[in-house]
């Protein structure tokens, strides 16, 4: 299936070069709902015009880029000047280091992901070789690449037989967590609170993450609302009974445990509730085989002595 490449170039590991193309991992064909701004009276779509406070509306060829170095003062930056800042090998994805799979905190992920594919037959073997090496060594690569006219910090890791490229934020783009530690108060959890919390997490733990199990409920309801509006129907939202908030932490943990307790865990007690009771009464009246044997021997001995 032909795929539109968001980037084409060479993955470079030291002196090794692998021709690759990158395709976005986001499904651009997935249905999305976008609401437009309309004039409330005539329902015409609102348009935005580019205007200058001194000369009014301007065309695109009259617009330049600039940087505000002081309040109200700008220096004009020409696109050709920016282009000269890009290195000659801007078509390369250069891996500068390799780190363990858990070495990069998800906090640094920028939310842009791509699948990397060999660009032609010539890169197939080298692609598979690097993929195999990353899997066996449990590593991911870190490097830089120019995408969308900007140099991006990226990580390369494996995803099944594929390799993926994910854009990372630079350290200066991430708010340091130390800035917010002062918002936390010093508290101490009791042993019972910790035990209940751990039990709650265990009860809610699954063996693996299934993305298909999570649906965008808001988008589905919004689509239903739009369809109803188009058809002239009116949707009446059912009244929701809001549960009374539980203020006490222990009460909230206990109530949560009851909520996540599965029927499978409770069913054995319910399904055998009466039968074990009868069995226990019967076993209480009937002596065990060994005891019965001893009583028989005593009775026999008593008859003989008589």
**Residue 106 maps to which CATH number?**
2.40.290.10
Give 232 or 245, the one with higher predicted confidence: 232
Q: How far is CA 53 from CA 49, 65, 68, 81, in A?
A: 12, 17, 17, 27
CA distance 38 to 272: 64
| Cβ pair 23, 5 in contact under 8 A | yes
- Please list the alpha-helical segments (H only) found in 19-139: 79-83, 124-137
How is residue 270 written in tokens?
A: 């319910």
For 79-128, the pLDDT digits (tens) are 888 777 766 556 889 999 999 999 999 999 999 999 999 998 989 999 99
**Is residue 101 a part of any domain in this protein?**
yes
**Res. 283: pLDDT tops 60:** no
Question: With contact defined as beta carbons under 8 Å apart, do 169 and 199 qualify?
Answer: no
Residue 151 forms part of a structural domain: yes
Q: What's the confidence (pLDDT) of residue 282? A: 44
Confirm whether 228 is domain-assigned: no
Distances (CA, A) of 202 to 199, 206, 250: 5, 9, 17
Give the rounded percent of residues in the chain with a pLDDT score beyond 90.
36
Q: How far apart are CA 18 and CA 31, in angstroms?
A: 35
Whether residue 298 is predicted with pLDDT greater than 50 in this model: the reply is: no
196 within some domain:
no
What domain range is 145 assigned to? 7-26+85-173
Closest among 137, 171, 177, 175 to 153, alpha carbons compared:
171
Does 164 reside within a domain?
A: yes
Whole-angstrom distance, CA of residue 306 vs CA of residue 298 = 12
* Residue 202 tokens, joined: 């265990």
The pTM of this model reads: 0.66
Q: Which DSSP letter does residue 35 get? A: P
Residue 112: inside a domain: yes
Residue 215, domain member (yes or no): no
Q: Which residue has the higher pLDDT, 234 or 135?
A: 135
Q: Would strands 109-118 and 65-70 be described as parallel, antiparallel, or unpaired?
A: unpaired
- pLDDT at position 159: 95
Nearest to 155 by CA among 71, 198, 99: 99
Domains contained in the chain, number: 1
Radius of gyration of the chain (CA): 34
User: Where residue 31 falls among pLDDT bands split at 50, 70, 90?
Assistant: low
Is the pLDDT confidence value at 274 over 90?
Answer: no
Residue 201 lies in a domain: no
Name the packing angle between helices 191-203 and 249-260 (round to 10°).
Answer: 20
């Amino acid at each position: 299936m032909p795929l539109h490449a968001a980037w084409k170039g060479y993955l470079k590991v030291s002196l090794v070069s692998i021709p690759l193309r990158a395709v976005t991992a986001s499904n651009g064909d997935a249905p999305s709902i976008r609401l437009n701004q309309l004039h409330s009276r005539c329902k015409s779509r609102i348009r935005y015009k580019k205007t200058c406070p001194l000369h009014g509306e301007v065309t695109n060829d009259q617009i330049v880029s600039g940087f505000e170095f002081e309040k109200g003062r700008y220096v004009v930056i020409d696109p050709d000047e920016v282009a000269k800042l890009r290195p000659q090998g801007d078509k390369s994805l250069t891996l500068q280091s390799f780190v363990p799979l858990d070495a990069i905190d998800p906090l640094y992920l920028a939310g842009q992901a791509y699948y990397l594919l060999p660009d032609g037959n010539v890169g197939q073997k080298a692609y598979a070789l690097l993929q195999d090496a990353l899997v066996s060594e449990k590593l991911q690569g870190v490097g830089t690449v120019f995408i969308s006219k900007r140099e991006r910090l990226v990580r390369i890791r494996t995803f099944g037989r594929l390799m993926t490229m994910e854009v990372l934020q630079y350290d200066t783009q991430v708010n340091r967590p130390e800035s917010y530690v002062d918002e936390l108060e010093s508290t101490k959890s009791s042993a019972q609170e910790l035990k209940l919390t751990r039990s709650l997490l265990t009860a809610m733990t699954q063996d693996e993450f299934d993305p298909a199990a999570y649906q965008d409920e808001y988008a589905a309801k919004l689509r239903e609302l739009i369809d109803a509006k188009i058809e002239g129907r009116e949707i009446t939202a059912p009244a929701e009974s809001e549960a009374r908030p539980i203020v006490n932490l222990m009460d909230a943990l206990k109530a949560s445990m009851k909520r996540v307790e599965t029927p499978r865990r409770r069913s054995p007690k319910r399904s055998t509730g009466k039968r074990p009771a009868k069995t226990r009464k019967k076993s209480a009246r009937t002596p065990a085989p060994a005891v019965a044997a001893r009583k028989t021997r005593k009775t026999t001995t008593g008859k003989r002595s008589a």
